[in-house]
Structures are given as structure tokens and as C-alpha cells.
Amino acid sequence: MSGDDRKLVVGIDIGTSGARAVAMASNGAVVASGAAKLSSYSDDHRDPSGWWKAVQAALGETLGGIDRQTVRALAIDGTSGTMLPVGQSGAPLATPMMYNDPVADRAFLDAVSAHAPRESAAHGATSGLAKLLAFQSVPGTFRVIHQADWLAGHFTGLYDVSDENNALKTGYDPVSRSWPEWIEKTGARVDLLPDVMPAGAPVAAISPAAAEAFGLSADLVVVAGTTDGCASFLATGADQPGDGVSALGTTLTVKMLSDRPLFAPEYGLYSHRIGEMWLAGGASNTGGVVLAEHFSPERIAALSAGIDPSVDTGLDYYPLVNPGERFPVADPDFPPRMSPRPADDAAFLKAIFEGIAGVESLAYRRLTSLGGPALRSLRSVGGGAKNAAWTAIRARKLGVPFLPVLSEEAAAGTARLALVGARKAGVL
């Protein structure tokens, strides 16, 4: 085994319910992993000490299965839009606002709305910029930073550095790669914004205290991380323009790598910058929620066994539970289309499968029409990806190769960023 083959990187994911960590070899193979539930350390999911204890536990479990001195780089992802004000030493100064916590002060939201360009991801009550406005008057605030920034600071001692993906909803402009001038016009204190680095860029060497605490090498490089959503995409192995990933969960989410940024606020569509590529995507209201409205999981499995996916039902469904669609159609009153209903349950289920596959196909065509590349391959994640009949219907509708997913673990995607950073730093 060569020296490079023995060198490892670590990716850490902090999600809504817990932390996960993986150790990855230079060839992308996961060689160790660990996990910890937030509820084991705190009753409050907004408690930063609980986040850190869960990260410590997940990382400790991972490092227990490897030679710690072989770890050359580390990166962290966090929930997009989760923010907190901190002092210079990183001490939290107020209860964090989570990714889905809205800012209630209308004046803050109006200020953002008045000055943010329409294509900015900073619009909305849950945006990072709205949270900066809400936190900036907290006494003693050094920076208002994102969840991943704060956790990464525990490894570097720096609490003023972020990445381009977490900073997007705080108003960062990924095209110019800067905090735009209009942010100050909202009344935001721009001196409280962190410095921003590209996802996967080397940030700093691990601090002596963190190296000693975890038994890691003093020259380990901490790499700029990303959001949990971007990390989940990277984990699949998608890495070329035109590579798409569909998440078939309660709703249908499509994401695709593009060689240019795509912004279409009417669809809730914006682009994350990852290296020199762009990750664009949209979320539909169709998906598993429609299936659950009509069938139990057991019934879906039984009916699917009798479906012939090679022949269309001839029914033209747009499956929704309620009126309203976000993407690939932007219409709050868009009506569900699920009739006529066949008497045979298997035929009805098949028509729903076909309808959701049609929405998925339209979604990728929409990304292309907005300036993205044509879909060249597809990877699927989520519970729906395990249904063979549905997968065959989707493959026929989309007409591109369906490729295997390397991992569905966000931590593995963050580890891939750590690999990028380790190579840039020359430590791998």
C-alpha cells in the first residue's frame, strides 16, 4: 500500500437529529464511520453544546477505528440557514435560530425585500440575512455565523470564516464571490459577516488544542465545508455537468450540476457554487406524500409486484395532494390531475408512478431551459428509489443512464470536499 493510500480525510455532518462522521481513503472508499443522536446530549435541538457533544461523539467513534495520525484533512457540513451570534472566542451569545425558524420582525424582512436582488437567496423569513438583522444588536457580538462555521471553529479556533454554500442565504453573491454592497443598505452590520471561502478550500491547520483533544496530527488541514443539502448531493458521486440526483421522499427534489449558475426566483431556484461548477435544483409538491394519501407502504409493495413498467397506462396525471406547485411549475393554485381513477388499484398506482416520473422529467427539462446542460445521468436517493417498478418507469420516461449511488450519507459528501482541500493543500 502506498503512502497516499494510507492517508485519510474525515467528513462530519450535523443534521436535525444527530451528527455523523466518516473517514474516507484517497480513492473515495469509506473506511470508518460514527454517529450520535443530539437527544443523547441535550433536550433542545437549538443547544450548541449539544451539537458539539454529538460531533465529538461521532468523530470519536470514527477515529476509534483508524490510525488517527493518518487523517490529513477534515470538513463539516451543517443545516442551511442555521445561525448564531458569537463572541470572539466562539461563545454563543443567544439561542441559535434553526434553518426553519422564521424571523418575526416585519421591518427586517421588508428591509431585505427592498434591497436584495430578486434572484438572491436572502429573501424570506428564514433567510440567513434576516437572522443577521435579528442578532446583530446582541451585546458583545463578534460575528453572526452559520452552524457549520461554529463547529469548524472548534477545530481551528477561528470563528469568522464561512463557506460559499452556507453564506448563500445570508446574501453572499457566488458569481462575484463577495458580499455585495446592497447588504449594508438593509441596515445589516457587514462587519459581523464572516470571511467566505470556496467549499473545499483549505482554511487553516487544526489548532493545537483540538489536535491534542482528538489525538490528531498537528498539521491536519481544516477545509471549508458546505450545507447538508449540497453534501448529500456530493455523496452520491455526481461530479459532472448534467449529472442529476433525484430525491424521492415525501416530496420530489431534483438537483443537477451545471457549468453555469441558474437563478429563477419564481421557481425558488438558485445555485450553489461548488468548485467551478454550480449545483441547481428545485422541489416539487409531488412525491411520496401523494402515494401515502392512497396506499400504505405494504400495499404499494404488493401492488408494485404486478406492475408492467414497459407499457403506459395512457393516463396523464399530475399527482398532488392539494392545489399548488413550486417546481417545475410555479403556480400556487395549480390543480392536481388524478382522474379518471381506474377501478384496479395496481393501475391507479402505476398511473401515479407515471405522473410523478413525468413531473421529474419536466423538472430536468426546466433546468435545461433555464440555461443548464441537458441531463446526462441520474442517481436516485430516498425511499422511492428502492421501488423497482417505479424505477423502471422513471428510466423509460427520463431516457438517461441510471447510475448507482456511492453513498446517501451527507458526511461522505463532506469528506469528498475534504479530499479536494487536502489535495489543494498538498497534504494528500
Taking CA 419 as the corner, what is the angle to CA 367 and CA 168, rounded to the nearest 5 degrees? 40
User: Identity (one letter) of the amino acid at 416?
Assistant: R
Question: Is residue 43 packed enough to be buried (19+ CB in 10 Å), middle (13-18) or exposed (0-12)?
Answer: exposed
Q: For 377-417, how does the pLDDT look when each residue is reduced to its tens digit (9 = 90+)?
A: 999 999 999 999 999 999 999 999 999 999 999 999 999 99
Residue type, 357: A
Q: Which amino acid is at 130?
A: A
Percent of the chain surpassing pLDDT 70: 99
pLDDT of residue 40: 97
How far, in Å, CA of 363 to CA of 394, rounded? 13
Shortest CA distance to 130 belongs to which of 94, 156, 99? 99
Dihedral sign for Cα atoms in the order 69, 72, 78, 84: positive
Mean residue pLDDT of the chain comes to: 96
Strand partners, 83: 97, 146
Query: What is the C-alpha to C-alpha distance for residues 286 and 96, in angstroms, rounded to an integer?
Result: 32
Q: How buried is residue 294: exposed, middle or buried, by Cβ count under 10 Å (0-12/13-18/19+)?
A: middle
Q: Which residues pair with 281 in a beta bridge?
A: 255
The sheet that has 271-274: what strands, in order across it? 271-274, 277-284, 252-258, 243-248, 377-381
Distance CA 271, CA 174 (A): 8
Residue type, 88: Q
User: What pLDDT, on the 0 to 100 scale, is given for residue 121?
Assistant: 94
The whole-number average pLDDT for the span 86-93 is 98
Q: Distance between CA atoms of 356 and 248, rounded to whole angstroms?
A: 10
For residues 223-239, give the mean pLDDT.
96
Q: Which has more confidence, 102 or 3?
A: 102
Asked whether 155 and 142 are in contact (CB, 8 A), the reply is no
Q: What is d(CA 10, CA 73) in angstroms, rounded to the nearest whole number?
A: 6
Asked whether the predicted pLDDT for residue 2 surpasses 60, the reply is no
Confidence at 1, pLDDT banded by 50, 70, 90? very low
Rounded to an integer, the average pLDDT of 282-288 is 95
d(CA 361, CA 398): 6
State the pLDDT confidence band at 163, using cuts at 50, 70 and 90: very high
- Give me the pLDDT at residue 4, please: 62
- Residues of the chain with pLDDT > 90, as a percent, come to 97
Domains of the chain by range and CATH? Answer: 3-230+410-425 (3.30.420.40), 241-398 (3.30.420.40)
CB neighbours of residue 136 within 10 Å: 18
- In 136-207, alpha helices (H): 147-156, 182-185
Cell of 419: 479530499
